[in-house]
Amino acid sequence: MCNPKAIRKEYLRHLADSDQEDEESAIDASEDKRHHMKISAEEREQATCPQKAGDYRRLWDAFRAACKLFKDELDTLNKASRDQTDKLMFGKRMKTTHQWFEGLSKEKKREAELAADKWNQEGAPKHQQVVSVSHRPFIFYLHTSIFLVIGKKISNAC
């Protein structure tokens, strides 16, 4: 796998002086952006908190939470180990994912455990819970009206 930044630095010396300065400043800006991209555990947890009520059907455990919290890291690993010609790749990807989780540092595992506990205690966001509850009367009405229509057609046919 090639590193675009290394390629840019290698060919930097072949550029004209004005272009070389522009390219160096662009490389420095991208490195500064990468250093500023590091966020705290609380910010990462808030940014990746599940928003759909369906995400809470199963309890969150440390493994699921880690996969959601560190998705970029996991995606990079999957892309590096992916073999698109292999039909049995899904099982190998799950094995790779579990190996990745086992190799996580204690701090990251602890962060995932805390996030899972918090998500299990808080549950789905209130606006998602309200949506699912507010549809129940309509579904009941729809169910009963369909039953009445079908029941009348059946009794008329006899």
Q: What is the mean pLDDT of the chain?
A: 75
Give the model's pLDDT for residue 39. 75
Say which residue the tokens 């549809």 belong to: 135
Rounded to whole angstroms, how far apart are CA atoms 92 and 105? Answer: 22
Q: Other C-beta atoms within 10 Å of 60: how many?
A: 20
Domain ranges of the chain: 1-38, 40-124, 125-158
Identify the band that residue 35 occupies on the pLDDT scale cut at 50, 70 and 90. very low
Give the range with max mean pLDDT: 58-62, 80-84, 139-143.
Answer: 58-62
Rg, the chain, Cα only = 26
User: Does the pLDDT value for residue 94 go beyond 60?
Assistant: yes
Say what the alpha-carbon torsion angle 57, 60, 63, 65 is, to the nearest 10 degrees: 100
pLDDT score at 1: 45
Q: What sign does the dihedral 57-61-62-67 (CA atoms) show?
A: negative
Which of 28-32, 35-39, 75-79, 138-142 shows the highest mean pLDDT? 75-79
